[in-house]
């Protein structure tokens, strides 16, 4: 952690001084949502998309957004400006706030708790030539489209991957591969880039949308379609994507090589397009 200040309920202060009540519903119930936003050269990456998803998550849990988009933007820009010249990952969380009593039902009057912190982020290691993943039963709930902090299932699924010396778990629900425990899923099959369609069984990833946009712009065959478990296992390429990890080529799945066991040609192409896009963001040529 850095020595920079974090943001809590209207103030910037050192992390060691940022405190919330034990009666906070975020603490007691996981009654809370979050976002993770990269910032490259001080520029918040795809901020309008993150703010829209934040709004969607709040609406889904019946909360008013405690801040306007311009207030969010100004606060997040101030936070990022504390570490100039450093690529960063900004974490923000909104909870339903502290209540007088512990009661599951939503109290009429609570004041949201708003927290944000920024950590240094480094480019993915160029010497890493693919990651290992395992498949697991998707034990999560049916509201995976909400970016909720209630992540116990994801914690256990990710730990199972670590126990198996893998980086990520790919989650299977009703015979279909949905996404990773903390990432979205793409496969390349017969020359087509495929990702599962948005639904309440997966998080609408900002990186996922950008990859589809880049595929569309650059004429790469692509589709939003269910991915069956046999299709996942016979794919030429498998990728997992997220804001902080960008595009991770999966080269081993359940101990077996994916394709020829190396990051594939479509990954190489998309990775280059993604880097170019990031470069344009850094130079302020793209929002």
Ligand X SMILES: Cc1ncc(COP(=O)(O)O)c(C=O)c1O
If the CB atoms of residues 63 and 206 are measured against ligand X, the closer one turns out to be: 206
If the CB atoms of residues 157 and 235 are measured against ligand X, the closer one turns out to be: 157
**Cβ density class 81-107: b for 16+ within 10 Å, e for less:** eebeebbbbbbbbbbbbbbeeeeeeee
If the CB atoms of residues 242 and 251 are measured against ligand X, the closer one turns out to be: 242
If the CB atoms of residues 130 and 205 are measured against ligand X, the closer one turns out to be: 205
Residues that bind ligand X (CB under 6 A): 36, 179, 182-184, 203, 205-208, 241-243
User: Pairing mode, if any, of strands 183-189 and 237-242?
Assistant: antiparallel
109, 147, 162, 282: the catalytic one is 147
| Residue 187 Cβ vs ligand X, minimum distance, rounded to whole Å | 15
Q: Which of 5, 98, 85, 80 is nearest to 37 (CA)?
A: 80
| Residue 211 Cβ vs ligand X, minimum distance, rounded to whole Å | 9
Name, in order, each residue with C-beta under 8 angstroms of 269's C-beta and a sequence gap of 6 or more.
218, 220
The position carrying tokens 């498998």 is 238
If the CB atoms of residues 110 and 184 are measured against ligand X, the closer one turns out to be: 184
| Residue 222 Cβ vs ligand X, minimum distance, rounded to whole Å | 16
| Residue 210 Cβ vs ligand X, minimum distance, rounded to whole Å | 8
149: phi then psi, degrees, rounded to nearest 5: -80, -5
| Residue 88 Cβ vs ligand X, minimum distance, rounded to whole Å | 14
Cα–Cα distance for residue pair 96/114, rounded to 1 Å:
9
Can 109 be counted among the known catalytic residues? Answer: no
Show which residues are catalytic.
Answer: 147
């Amino acid at each position: 952690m850095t020595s920079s200040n974090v943001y809590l309920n209207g103030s910037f202060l050192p992390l060691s001084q940022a405190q919330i009540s034990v009666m906070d519903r975020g603490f007691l119930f996981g009654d809370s949502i979050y976002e993770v936003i990269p910032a490259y050269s001080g520029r918040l990456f795809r901020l309008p998309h993150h703010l829209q998803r934040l709004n969607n998550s709040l609406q889904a849990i019946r909360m008013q957004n405690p801040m306007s988009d311009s207030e969010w933007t100004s606060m997040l820009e101030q936070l990022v400006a504390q570490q100039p010249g450093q690529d960063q990952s900004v974490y923000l969380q909104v909870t339903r706030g502290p209540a007088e009593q512990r009661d599951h039902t939503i109290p009429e009057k609570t004041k949201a708790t708003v927290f944000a912190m920024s950590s240094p982020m480094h480019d993915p290691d160029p010497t890493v030539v693919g990651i290992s993943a395992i498949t697991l039963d998707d034990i999560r709930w049916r509201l995976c489209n909400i970016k909720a902090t209630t992540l116990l299932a994801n914690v256990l699924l990710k730990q199972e991957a670590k126990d198996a010396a893998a980086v990520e778990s790919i989650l299977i629900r009703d015979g279909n591969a949905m996404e990773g425990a903390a990432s979205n899923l793409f496969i390349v099959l017969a020359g087509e880039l495929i990702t599962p369609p948005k639904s309440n069984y997966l998080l609408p990833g900002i990186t996922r949308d950008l990859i589809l946009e880049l595929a569309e712009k650059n004429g790469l065959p692509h589709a939003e379609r269910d991915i069956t478990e046999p299709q996942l296992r016979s794919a030429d390429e498998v990728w997992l994507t997220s804001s902080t990890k960008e595009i991770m080529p999966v080269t081993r799945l359940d101990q077996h090589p994916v394709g020829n066991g190396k990051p594939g040609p479509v990954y190489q192409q998309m990775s280059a397009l993604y880097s170019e896009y990031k470069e344009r963001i850094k130079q302020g040529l793209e929002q």
